[in-house]
Structure 1
Amino acid sequence: MGLIMAFCRRALKLVRLLFHSTFRTGLRYGVAASLENRPVMRSLQVRSVIDAGANVGQFALLMRHFHRDAVIHAFEPFPSSAAIFARLFAQDRCVHLHRHALGMAAVEADLHVSRRADSSSLLPISSSQTVFAPGTEEVGVLTVPVRRLDDVLSSADLPRPSLLKIDVQGGELDVLKGAEGLLPHLDYIYVEVSFAQFYQGQPLANEVIDHLQARGYCLTGIGGTAQDRQGLIVQADLLFSRLQNQ
């Protein structure tokens, strides 16, 4: 029954992707827009997007569908994923690809490469991750540049309202710590959080939530979630909005 349900979900997603020209373009490059984020993203009015952990462009493609003229700054350190992203958006002058990771300091760091590229992380992959998602074990290590977000972009690069999306496999808090100078200019933050530790040293959901609330953001939406084999939610995409008086 589980396999049948999974097949039906994939088939339904494919039908939805084929329905829109922007998504069909992505499929030509093997990129399926992240429709799981559609309910929480389509109501936002944004003029600029920072895509931290862009992978091959799944989220950027979704945002381009909703916001035709938005400026998108995408960050992806893994070479093969960045190459696909670059080809997909080669004709889009409002999309800027930065081929490095984001963190709290400008350094060269080890990227722990997963068998599934989108599970790669600057943190070592734990056994909990490979149990939760078989086929995501580490297959190599690659040295990549890491930069602070507020060293790369300024408020002048980000027409408002602005959105920062973070999906970096355990490094979410480091990205936020490297964006302190930009936070006053970011209206929304959409971040993947975990309730279980899948990467060694990974901050859990409560730490990310506390960090953002202390800086004038409130939780205003929940996007996609992931469950373990017992049906417990172990990951979620959370939308935070900056309070008006902050």
Structure 2
Amino acid sequence: MRAELHYVRLSGEFGCYVPVNDSGDSGELGFMYQEIFRDNCYLGSGIRLPEAPVVVDAGANVGLFTLFLKSRYPRARVLAAEPAPSTFGALCANLAHHGHEDVLTREVALGARRETGVPFTYYRDLPGNSTRYPELKTRTRELVPAAGRLLADSRSVAVAVERLSDLLPDLAPAGPIDLVKIDVEGAELDVLAGIGEADWPRIRQLVIEAEEPEPVCALLERRGFDVTAREPYGPLAALGTSTITGRRT
């Protein structure tokens, strides 16, 4: 069953839908809006896109990055993947509300292989932290006590997992993939493992949020990307989360 949605105004006339939870607004949506729209955390890392880019939004959440991208590149072709059912419902509502019905959406997690009924931990008060690997949130609870309290209310949902390469034909059966954005709460290497050999040369750029950047950077370097890792700031600094950019020269 889909969660009830609540509309939140973020700036001027811009707002979006989020799942209603039992504890009120945790401030997570405002933080994500600041990070994406104000700080330009994904496109401000040396990313260069054509006028009509082909983009993958892995871990789309309620769709803020896709909305930001479409505001800058209206002709962008986007695949937005989000596994949590309540969050996926908000994603679809936001795309419709802002007139972006052309975005390809999939209610799946991205991983190394196709799976069904995979346990996924959904945090009602911090849905952006929902993850396949809840054990990784131990560090968050220890280093950020306020976040730890908000992570206390969780439930397990069963999600489907697909390989990114199995979804790419629906987005772009041939030609370049201009950007793959990955923000998947600990499953970064899983997503990368789901890219087939034939698709790696198609990918021009990646931007990845990771708490453990070293293995991600090493993999991208082996794949021929020029890699940079931007040091964390704000609430992410305590967790050591870095934004990794990979670009082909």
**Aligned partners of 2:93, 2:87: CA distance in 1, in Å?**
10
CA contact (8 A) 2:204 2:248 kept: yes
**Aligned partners of 1:71, 1:50: CA distance in 2, in Å?**
9
CA contact (8 A) 1:226 1:235 kept: no
Identity %: 26
Counterpart among 124, 128, 132 of residue 139 in structure 2: 128
Partner of 1:117: 127
Partner of 2:203: 186
Aligned CA-pair RMSD: 2.6
TM-score, normalization: structure 2?
Answer: 0.75
**Aligned partners of 1:223, 1:64: CA distance in 2, in Å?**
27
SS of match in other structure, 1:153: helix
Structure 2 gaps of 5+ residues are: 1-9, 19-28
| Deviation at residue 233 of structure 1 after TM alignment | 6.2
CA contact (8 A) 2:213 2:244 kept: no
Matched ranges for 1:145-184 at <5 A: 145-154=160-169, 156-157=172-173, 160=176, 162-181=178-197, 182-184=199-201
Change (3 A) 1:113 1:93: closer
**Aligned partners of 2:238, 2:178: CA distance in 1, in Å?**
32
SS of match in other structure, 2:240: strand
Structure 1 gaps of 5+ residues are: 1-13, 19-23, 195-203
Change (3 A) 1:89 1:158: farther
Change (3 A) 1:35 1:222: farther
Amino acid corresponding to residue 49 of structure 2 in structure 1? Q
SS of match in other structure, 1:87: helix
Partner of 1:29: 17
SS of match in other structure, 1:210: helix
**Aligned partners of 1:98, 1:238: CA distance in 2, in Å?**
24
**Aligned partners of 2:119, 2:158: CA distance in 1, in Å?**
5
Change (3 A) 1:104 1:138: farther
| Deviation at residue 222 of structure 1 after TM alignment | 3.3
Counterpart among 82, 89, 107 of residue 88 in structure 2: 82
TM-score, normalization: structure 1?
Answer: 0.76
CA contact (8 A) 1:36 1:224 kept: no
Partner of 1:41: 43
**Aligned partners of 2:160, 2:230: CA distance in 1, in Å?**
31
Change (3 A) 1:236 1:226: farther
Per-residue deviation, residues 133-189 of structure 1 (Å, max 9, x unmatched)? 321236111110000000111383476461000000000000001013422111110
CA contact (8 A) 1:110 1:122 kept: yes
